[in-house]
Structure 1
Amino acid sequence: MPREMRVLLVTNMIYAFVLPVIEIFVGAYIMRSSNDPKIVAVYQLTVYTGIPITFLLNGFLLSRIKISTLYSFGMLLSGLSMLVMMSLQNLSVAGVGIAGILMGCSFGFFWSNRDLLALNTTNDSNRNYYYGLETFFYTITFILVPVVVGAFLATADSRRWFGGNMSSGYQMVTIVVFLLTILSSVVIHKEKFKNPEEKKFLYFKFHTLWRKMLTLAGLKGLAQGYLVTAPAILIMRMVGNEGSLGLAQGVSGVITALMLYLLGRTTKPEHRIYIFSAGLAIFLLGTLVNGILFSAFGVMVFVLCKVLFQPLHDIAYFPIQMQVIDVVSKIEKRNKFTYIFNHEFGLYVGRFLGLGLFIAFATYISESFALKYSLIVIAVVQLASIPLARHIVRESYKLQTS
């Protein structure tokens, strides 16, 4: 394994301990403090609004600042955003929105540079292995971190640590998160990564294959907002506490981690569609069980399916995206960051529509209706990704060999 890839994997492995806290417990904290699912959805929408804005800013900064510096800044900013959130006395829409924008900016710097570094340090033949190993790390941390943090918060609540003030418990978790972001920022500077040579990255006309990839990104984005907000809301509504949230994530994570490691080691590029399809089928199953039962058991089944679906989807999706970028960037002779930046807007459209659907259902029909049926709608629409992804893969290899 090349040194660049090793340094990137170690950095991401450390930061992987931060992501579960951000993705799971920030939503649970907002839900506990506000008792309003719409506030959670608004937070997530502002996060997703901050991401593409920062992708744009990052594109300009890459011509002046080292990519490793921008990458580490994004990780540090995520810890700062959590500190801002935990310092708010009252969770108003405005306060949550500001914290959400800050978190979105941190994700923007993190994901834009992470994707570019992964693209430049891997090729199509080793991307299954790279993303399998990386997703394996993420899955392991999604087992350990929710269980440990959930147990800590649940114990603090039951034994009335911090005088019964749960905000203090969340603040302790946030301090640990901030220390981890500092450590991961130090590691990424152990290697000298190259910035893109071509500075221009803003374009509005693209190859037909890339436009199809953007449609696939939009479909992926539809589910992303729900994967962050829905588990926290459902657990707090139907099950009861953060300890249950951590336990539910951990149970399915053990199986997923082992499966991902094996898939990364043994699968080839031609197997990606099968993995992709299996993930979507599992997600649909989880949403149907949740919608039909709408009980604590149904929520647990949904969370288990969600933990299985997300890494299976990602281990197939990211190599497909990278392969298309490799092919189209050579045809159009453009900076690869052009496509990473543009791809984020495809995701944003899907995220906006998905979260907008949830907010509309919760506002104009009922919260229960939104939690039951919006997930099913999203999962059914997601099935359109399968034939589209198969077509994109075939076209990309055809163009590569022509």
Structure 2
Amino acid sequence: MKGLLNEIRFFRSHDHNMKVLLLTNMIYGFVLPVVEIFAGAYVMRDTNNPAMVAYYQLAMYIGVVTTSLVNGFLLKAFDVRALYSGGILISGVSLALMMNIQGLGFVALGLAGFFLGAASGFFWTNRYLLALYNTNDENRNYYFGLESFFFSVASITVPLVVGGFIGGMDGRTFLGIVFNISTCYKVVTGCVFLLTIIASWVLWKGCFFMPKDIKFLHFRFHVLWRKMLLLASLKGMVQGFLVTAPAILVMKFIGNEGALGLIQGISGALTAVLVYVLGRLARPQDRLWIFLGSVLVFFVGTLFNGILFSAAGVIVFVLCKVIFQPLFDLAYYPVMMRTIDIVAKIENCNEYTYIMSHEFGLFAGRAFGLLLFIALVYFVSETFALKFALIVVGGLQMLAYPLSKNISNRSNQLSTETNDETK
């Protein structure tokens, strides 16, 4: 109990805006598993076509990158909190609309994915921007560690509760309503929308400073930022698979969302504690070791899935995936933000310039990964895509470690040179 009180006091010692952001993201963290996991499973159940799941995700990512550009123009006229909370609310509305479409055809599925991605684009880009302005390199490990802890807890509780609800209520009658899979998804979506309202209300408790100069269109970047965009592409490539492959594999080998929730919950328990402890204790120079550990865990998971290609292999892969994601993000985002701090000062550009271009870097990787998956499904086979594409992606992701090491070392050099020039 004493240790818990110490952690609460440590949290309360930080800046008000940083605490507001963390609380907002904590609440929205309970929405993300529904958007990332169960939406994919819903599409898979409705279409019974893995390529359509990948197509839905691709449309979603097009929405993300589109609104990252639109958001830059809107920042000139609207409070950043309005755009941030608007993205949170629209994600709930978009999910509800998708669940109410009768028969997800090619066009309907693409539009549903695009608008859900558009909402996510407002959330993620403004989240990055506010985190950048309200943290520094010394407290970003703690910030992203605590945020990842919230997301990991959500990845435990939400899949367990949602999976249990869907599995337990399917075929039952309650208050005169006969529940089927579709009805259960609609109830879940209603709960998601309520959480988005609460998260938006909390966000408006913050008082966030925004610079007056928000010119953000820039096309020629410092070589350090170009390396960061390459790292973003590697991250995006894996993201494209991680929001698609787990749901497809679980539905293929295990068969229901309840099992999906149970697997996510078990693997998330250890990770939640691990990322918080690392975020609390790790120093900026420890980020490279976290990078290395995360990519190794993911690659091992893809090998188990490809070699076994069974229910056991899927369980090991999902376990590794849930451990990999928060560990990788814990190291990735502080490196990204420190790089923005440095290159923005060198190039005298607004920070949103780099946040927007970062989304394009992520999109390049996501599009490559998803198009590769779709091509393998149509031109080779679904089995080949699920077995071997993940191994290829996991192998390529291993390049993130030497690349992040190079970025960190060069950032240290440029930071020293910049400080010497200002003295």
**Does residue 171 in structure 1 map to residue 171 in structure 2?**
no
Following the alignment from structure 1 to structure 2, what is the Cα–Cα distance between the partners of residues 149 and 67? 32
Aligned to 1:350, which of 365, 370, 378? Answer: 365
Following the alignment from structure 1 to structure 2, what is the Cα–Cα distance between the partners of residues 326 and 140? 30
**Does residue 70 in structure 1 map to residue 49 in structure 2?**
no
Identity of aligned residues (%): 54
Number of aligned pairs? 402
Aligned to 1:266, which of 273, 281, 303? Answer: 281
Following the alignment from structure 2 to structure 1, what is the Cα–Cα distance between the partners of residues 398 and 273? 26
Aligned to 2:380, which of 365, 386, 398? Answer: 365
**Does residue 210 in structure 1 map to residue 225 in structure 2?**
yes
2:316 is aligned to 301
Considering only aligned residues, what root-mean-square deviation do their CA atoms show, in Å?
0.9
Asked whether the equivalents of residues 198 and 334 of structure 1 are also in contact (C-alpha less than 8 Å), the reply is no
Aligned AA (1:341): M
Aligned AA (1:329): A
Following the alignment from structure 1 to structure 2, what is the Cα–Cα distance between the partners of residues 35 and 347? 28
SS state at 2:133 partner: helix
Asked whether the equivalents of residues 125 and 355 of structure 2 are also in contact (C-alpha less than 8 Å), the reply is yes
1:383 is aligned to 398
Aligned AA (1:330): K
Asked whether the equivalents of residues 91 and 119 of structure 2 are also in contact (C-alpha less than 8 Å), the reply is yes
User: How do 1:1-400 residues align onto structure 2 when only pairs under 5 Å count?
Assistant: 1-157=14-170, 159=172, 163=178, 165-400=180-415
Following the alignment from structure 1 to structure 2, what is the Cα–Cα distance between the partners of residues 31 and 218? 26
Shift of 1:158: 5.7
Asked whether the equivalents of residues 284 and 376 of structure 1 are also in contact (C-alpha less than 8 Å), the reply is yes
Aligned AA (2:259): S
Asked whether the equivalents of residues 218 and 351 of structure 1 are also in contact (C-alpha less than 8 Å), the reply is yes
Asked whether the equivalents of residues 28 and 242 of structure 1 are also in contact (C-alpha less than 8 Å), the reply is yes
In the TM superposition, what whole-angstrom CA distance separates every residue of 1:274-305 from its partner, at most 9, and x where no partner exists? 00110000000000000000101110110000
**Are residues 255 and 158 of structure 1, via their aligned partners in 2, closer, same or farther at CA, if it must alter by over 3 Å?**
farther
Deviation above 3 Å: which 4+ runs of structure 1?
A: 158-164
Shift of 1:157: 2.3
Aligned AA (1:206): F
Following the alignment from structure 1 to structure 2, what is the Cα–Cα distance between the partners of residues 199 and 282? 40
In the TM superposition, what whole-angstrom CA distance separates every residue of 1:167-223 from its partner, at most 9, and x where no partner exists? 111000000000100110111001121223212100110111001111111111110
TM-score (norm 2): 0.94
Following the alignment from structure 1 to structure 2, what is the Cα–Cα distance between the partners of residues 154 and 229? 21
Asked whether the equivalents of residues 98 and 112 of structure 2 are also in contact (C-alpha less than 8 Å), the reply is yes
SS state at 1:195 partner: coil
Shift of 1:160: 6.8
Asked whether the equivalents of residues 173 and 179 of structure 2 are also in contact (C-alpha less than 8 Å), the reply is yes
Following the alignment from structure 2 to structure 1, what is the Cα–Cα distance between the partners of residues 56 and 235? 19
Asked whether the equivalents of residues 141 and 284 of structure 2 are also in contact (C-alpha less than 8 Å), the reply is yes
2:7 is aligned to none
Aligned AA (2:188): V
SS state at 2:178 partner: helix
Aligned AA (1:364): F
Aligned AA (1:97): G
SS state at 2:243 partner: helix
Asked whether the equivalents of residues 62 and 195 of structure 1 are also in contact (C-alpha less than 8 Å), the reply is no
Following the alignment from structure 2 to structure 1, what is the Cα–Cα distance between the partners of residues 275 and 362? 24
In the TM superposition, what whole-angstrom CA distance separates every residue of 1:198-254 from its partner, at most 9, and x where no partner exists? 121001101110011111111111100111011110000110100100000000111
Aligned AA (2:284): P
Asked whether the equivalents of residues 171 and 178 of structure 2 are also in contact (C-alpha less than 8 Å), the reply is no
SS state at 1:109 partner: helix
Q: Which runs of 5+ in 2 are unaligned?
A: 1-13, 418-423
Following the alignment from structure 1 to structure 2, what is the Cα–Cα distance between the partners of residues 196 and 368? 51
Following the alignment from structure 2 to structure 1, what is the Cα–Cα distance between the partners of residues 169 and 309? 28
Following the alignment from structure 2 to structure 1, what is the Cα–Cα distance between the partners of residues 116 and 209? 26
